[in-house]
Amino acid sequence: MTTSYSNYKVEIKNVKFISDDGRTCPRTAIVSLYGLDGEEIGSELLGAIEMSEVYRMIKEGADLNFDNFYLNEFSLATYRRHNSLEKKEFVQLKKFSAKNAFFEAKHSTDFSHALFSDDEVNFDGTHFAKGKVLFNGANFGNGDTIFSNTLFRDGNLEFAGSVFGDGDFLFKNAVVHDGIKDFQDLKFGDGEISFANTEFNNGELLFINTQFGDGKFNFKVTRIGGGKVDFHYSAFGDCEVTFERAEFGHSRVDFRAVDFGSGRINFNRSVFGNGDVNFEGASCKSGKIQFKKAEMGSGPKNFNLLEMVNAEINFEKTEFGNGDITFNNSHFKVLSLKSCHLDHYVDLRLARAELLDISDTIVRDIVDLEPYDFRINIDVLDMSGMRLIGKMYIDWKLNCCKEMIINQKETTTIRQKAEQFRILKTNFSGTGKYDDEDEAYVMFKRFEAKADMNDSISGNKWARITAWPAYGFKWLVFDKIGLYATSPGRVLISVVIFWLFFGSTYFLVHLSGFGKTVSGVDASDHLSPFIQSFYHSAVTFFTIGYGDVYPVGASRIVSGLEGFMGVFMMSYFTVAFVRKVLR
C-alpha cells in the first residue's frame, strides 16, 4: 500500500475473504486511499476480522496471523478488562504476525504489556491509520521484530519500557507523522537495530535512558522534520552506531551523558538544523566518532565535558554554521577539526588530548585555548595550513606551545612547523602578547633556517659545502648572539663576551711576539700588558679611538676585525632595544 495518501475510507462487505496463503475471513474490508485533491490513488482488499474472534484466539493461545487483515479497535487493555486481568499484567501473543495489515482505532491501538513469543514479530508494511499506537511495557522475546515499511498516521507511538531480546529490531523505511515517538527506557539485546531511511516528521523523538546491546545500530538516512531528538542518558554497547546522512531538521538534538561504548560511531554527512546540538558529558571508552562533512545550523554546539580519553573524534570538513562551538574541559585521545571553517567562537580549552588537529582550518572569529580555571593538557597541536583571519587566545608558556608543535615529529615537515610558529607569532602580535610573540618568532626563524638548509641540499650533495657554513653563521650570529633581535640583554652579554675574547687575543698575541699594543703616553701612565690589552679592546670595540694605545704587528689585524664587530654589535643592540621599547 502507498503511504502518501491524505485520507482513506473503509467499507466492510459480507463477502468471504481468502488470503494468498489460504486463510479466510467471513467478511472483506475494502480500503480506498485518496490524495490531497480527493482523487482515489489506490485500494486494498483485506480480511475483516471481529475483535471478539481476535480476543478468543489470544485467550486460547492460538497462533496469531493477521497478515493482510483489517483490525478495528485492537486493545489489550480491553482484553484485560474482559478477562479480569491486572492493568499491567502480561498478555501472551503467540507467533504474532500482521504484515500488510490495516489498524485503526478511535483512541489507540493498544499492544501495551504484550508478551510476544520468541518467534518473529512482523508488522512489515502495516498501516496504523488512526489513533495512537501503544507498545509500552511490551516484551518482544528473542525473535526478530519488524516494523519496516510501516505507516503511523497519527504520529504518536509509545514503546516506553519495552524489552527486546537478541533478535533484530527493524524499523526501516517506516513513515511516522507528526507527534511524540516515545522509545524511552527500552532495553535491546545484541541484534541489529535499524531505523534506516525512516521518516519521523515533526514532534518529539525520545530515546532517553535507552539501553542498546552489542549489535549494530543504524539510523542512516533517517529524516526528522523538527522538534526534539533526545538520546540523553542512553547507553550503547560495543557496537557500530551509524547516523550517516541522517537529517535532524531544525530539532533540538540532545545526546547529553550518552555512553557510546567502544564501537565506531558515524555521523558522517549528517545534517543538523538550527536547533541546539548538545553532547555535553557524553563518553566513549575507545574507538572513533566521525562527523566528517556533517552540516550544522545556527544553534549552539555543546561538546563540553566529554569523556573520550581513549577515543578519537573527527569533524573533518564539517560545516558548523553560525553557532558557537564549545569543547570546554573535555578529554580526547584525538580531536580533529581539519579543513573546517570556524566562523564563530570556538572553545578548545580541552582538559586532555594527545592530538588537537586544526590544520587547514579557516578561522574568522575566536579560537580559545587559553587556560582559565583548569590546566589544558594537549600533547600535540597541529595548525599547519591554518588561515587565521580572526584571533586565537593562547598562552606560550601555559599552553606549552613550543612542545605542542615540536611533538608533531614526523607528521609535519620542518617547513610546516616553521609556518605554525609564524602563525602564532602573528597572532600574539594581534593580541598584544609581545613576549610570547618574541618566543614564537625565534622558533619560526630557527625552523625556517633548518628548512632553507634542507631545501638547498636536497638532491645536491655539493650544496652542503656552502649550505652548512651559511646555516652555522645564522645559528651563531642571528640566533645565539641576539635571539633574532628579540633580546637586548642577550646582545649585551654577547658584547661583553666579544670584548673579553678580543682582549684575551691581544694579550696572547703579545705573549707570542707576533704583535702588541703600544702606549703613546709618558711612562708614568703606562699599563701592564694584560690590562692594556683589555683597555685597547674596549676603545676599539666601542669605536672610541683615543689613540693613546695603538696596535703593532698582528694586533692590527685583530683590531680591524674588532672594529667591525663593534659597529655590528652596537647596531644589533640598537635594533633589539628599539624594537622592545616601541612595542
Global pTM?
A: 0.85
Dist CA 429 CA 394 (whole Å): 12
Rg over alpha carbons for the chain, rounded to the nearest Å, is 40
**Residue 141 CB partners (closer than 8 Å, separation 6+):** 115, 116, 117, 118, 119, 121, 165, 167
Give, to the nearest 10 degrees, the angle between helix 464-473 and helix 434-457. Answer: 170
The answer, yes or no, to whether residue 354 has pLDDT greater than 70, is yes
CB-based contacts of 488: which residues, under 8 Å, 6+ apart? 573, 576, 577, 580
Cβ neighbours of residue 175 closer than 8 Å, sequence gap 6 or more: 3, 150, 151, 152, 198, 199, 201
Q: Would you place residue 415 in the very low, low, confident or very high pLDDT band (cuts 50, 70, 90)?
A: very high
Alpha carbon distance 56, 51 (integer Å): 8
Question: Considering only the top CATH level, what class is 488-582?
Answer: mainly alpha
Which amino acid is residue 117, in one-letter code? S
pLDDT confidence of residue 516: 84
Give pLDDT, residue 101: 97
Closest by CA position to 531, among listed 559, 563, 504, 558: 504
Counting beta carbons within 10 angstroms of the beta carbon of residue 302, is it exposed (0 to 12), middle (13 to 18) or buried (19 or more)? buried
Closest C-alpha among 389, 299, 304 to residue 343: 389
pLDDT (mean) for 31-57: 94
Residue with cell 586565537: 392
CA trace torsion 376, 381, 385, 390 (10° rounding) = 10
150 within 8 A of 133, measured Cβ to Cβ: no
Sequence spans of domains, the chain: 488-582
Q: What is the pLDDT of residues 261-317, one digit of tens each?
A: 988 999 999 999 999 999 999 999 988 999 999 999 999 999 999 999 999 999 999
Which residues lie closer than 8 Å to 469 by C-beta, 6 or more apart?
A: none
Instruction: Give how far the C-alpha of residue 474 lies from the chain's centroid of Cα atoms, to the nearest Å.
Output: 42
Per-residue exposure over 58-72, b if at least 16 CB sit within 10 Å of its own CB, e if not: beeeeebbbbbbbbb
Cα 70 to the center of its chain, rounded Å? 49
Q: Taken in order 493, 495, 500, 505, is the CA torsion positive or negative? A: positive
The H or E element spanning position 529 is: helix 529-541
Q: Is the pLDDT of residue 549 over 60?
A: yes
Q: For residue range 81-125, what is the model confidence (pLDDT) as tens digits?
A: 999 999 999 999 999 999 999 999 999 999 999 999 999 999 999
d(CA 388, CA 424): 9
What percentage of the chain carries pLDDT values higher than 70?
Answer: 99
233 sits in the region (left: phi over 0; alpha: psi -120 to 50; else beta) called left
Give the up-direction half-sphere exposure of residue 395: CA atoms within 13 A in the CB hemisphere. Answer: 10
CA distance 13 to 18: 13
Joined grid coordinates for residue 253: 538534538
383-406: average pLDDT: 95
Residue 205 has pLDDT above 70, yes or no: yes
| Amino acid making up residue 425 | K
Those residues whose C-beta lies under 8 Å from the C-beta of residue 305, and which sit 6 or more positions away, are 280, 281, 328, 329, 330
Handedness of CA 354, 253, 225, 169 (dihedral sign): positive
Q: What share of the chain is helix, strand, coil (3-state, %, to 5)?
A: 25, 30, 45
H-helix or E-strand spanning residue 131: strand 127-134
Residue 381 has pLDDT above 70, yes or no: yes
Beta-bridged to residue 230, according to DSSP, are 206, 254
Residue 522 has pLDDT above 70, yes or no: no
Residue 498: closest CA among 474, 471, 477: 477
Q: Which of 544, 558, 550 is nearest to 520 (CA)?
A: 550
Say if residues 245 and 221 touch (Cβ distance below 8 Å).
Answer: yes
pLDDT at 459 over 80: no
Position of cell 682582549?
Answer: 503
Residue 525 predicted with pLDDT over 90: no
508: three-class secondary structure by DSSP? helix
The three state secondary structure string of 282-350 is: CECCCEEEECCCCECCCCCEECCCCEEEEEEEECCCCECCCCCEECCCCEEEEEECCCCEECCCEECCC
Q: What is the per-residue pLDDT across 326-340, written as a single tens digit (0 to 9) for each? A: 999 999 999 999 999
The average confidence (pLDDT) of the chain is: 92
First to last CA, the chain: 77
* Alpha-carbon distance values, 207 to 19, 160, 176, 230, 234 (Å): 38, 9, 15, 6, 7
Three-class SS of 399-468: CCHHHHHHCCHHHCCHHHHHHHHHHHHHHHHHHCCHHHHHHHHHHHHHHHHHHHHHHHHCCCHHHHHHHH
The predicted structure's pLDDT at residue 128: 97
Residue 191 has pLDDT above 60, yes or no: yes
In whole angstroms, what is the distance from residue 28 CA to residue 21 CA?
A: 16
In sequence order, the β-bridge partners of residue 518 are: 550
pLDDT of residue 524: 57
Q: Nearest to residue 395, comparing CAs of 423, 367, 371?
A: 371
| CB-based contact 114:76 (threshold 8 Å) | yes
* pLDDT over 70 (residue 523): no
Output the CA torsion sign for 47, 53, 55, 60: negative
Q: Tell me what pLDDT residue 463 has.
A: 72
